[in-house]
Amino acid sequence: MTETTDPGRLGPEHRELLGQVLDKWSLEVLDRLCERPRRFNELRRAIPAVTQKSLTATLRRLERNGMVEREIVSTRPVGVEYRMTPLGKTLQGLIDALLEWSATRLPEVNRARDRFDDAEREAEQGSVSR
Amino acid sequence: MTETTDPGRLGPEHRELLGQVLDKWSLEVLDRLCERPRRFNELRRAIPAVTQKSLTATLRRLERNGMVEREIVSTRPVGVEYRMTPLGKTLQGLIDALLEWSATRLPEVNRARDRFDDAEREAEQGSVSR
DNA sequence: CAGAATCCCTCTGGATACTG
DNA sequence: CAGTATCCAGAGGGATTCTG
């Protein structure tokens, strides 16, 4: 290592970017849109827990960051379709990996949480704080 | 099972888990701890923007989720060392990929943001809303 | 050194109602 | 259908002060 100059160094811009892309609903929205383009209410139904307001905000943010595209479809009641941009598609592998990781590791994490919470409760009863 | 049954379907637990692991400071903390174990103030210095409170909260959360371990080192003023657990290390590849993605794609994202913001400003001036 | 405890304030996000 | 507009409560996070 010829002087790695501290490789972990990330600027605030990177934190912000990842924050916008990885927030509460973005992952699921992106995951859905990776499958195929979707309309607004289609997305809502696909992600029942999201509110209309949050979904709108999420989509706007993703659109602003160049991850998704919005197209107005001149059908009868008028529809709006969202689809991944080429830039957004560069995320697909990462998204898949994240979702898969969370799916496979959740049991272990739950056990870890139980252990932690138990130890904490003990500590409260006994005298050992932190 | 060949029968993917709507592959994107993630439960609230997965959302929550990823939320805890991918939040504002976790990524950077984990990235640092992947390099080597670190002490508390060492981490603070490595991530100047984080406050003591947020760092404490982040570490506690990561510890609770089984991602990092905390060990009290009986040196003179007493030290506390944080290190990745085996479970936490399963994240390393993902973290690297995310940080690299954000580093390489940031310029494109910035251009997309500029385009978006310009279009928005135009729309405000003209009559075309959304 | 490594936090815990407080105060305080912003910002997110839910619920609800309305519109082109 | 696909949003916008309000209202509002609650969590998150910063700054500061104190401690074993």
> Distance (Å, rounded) from C-alpha B86 to C-alpha B66?
9
* Order of all β-strands in the sheet with A68-73: A38-39, A79-84, A68-73
Distance A53 CA to D6 C1' (A): 12
CA distance A92 to chain B (A): 11
Q: Which two tokens stand for residue A2?
A: 């010829």
Number of Cβ within a 10 Å radius of residue A40: 16
pLDDT in tens, B49-95: 999 999 999 999 999 999 999 999 988 788 999 999 999 999 999 99
* Rounded average pLDDT over B32-42: 96
> Closest chain A residue to B90 measured between Cα atoms?
A101
Residue-by-residue pLDDT tens, chain A, 130 positions: 444 446 666 788 898 999 999 988 999 999 999 999 999 999 999 999 999 999 999 999 999 999 999 999 988 788 999 999 999 999 999 999 999 999 999 999 999 999 999 998 877 665 444 5
Instruction: Note whether A17 contacts B87, CB cutoff 8 Å.
Output: no
> Distance (Å, rounded) from C-alpha A25 to C-alpha A47?
9
Is 70 exceeded by the pLDDT of residue B109?
yes
Q: How confident is the model at residue B5 (pLDDT cuts 50, 70, 90)?
A: very low
Instruction: Note whether B97 contacts A102, CB cutoff 8 Å.
Output: no
State whether residue B57 sits within 8 Å of chain A by CB. no
CB B27 within 8 A of CB B62: no
Say which of B14, B19, B109 has its CB closest to residue A99: B14
CB B58 within 8 A of CB B27: no
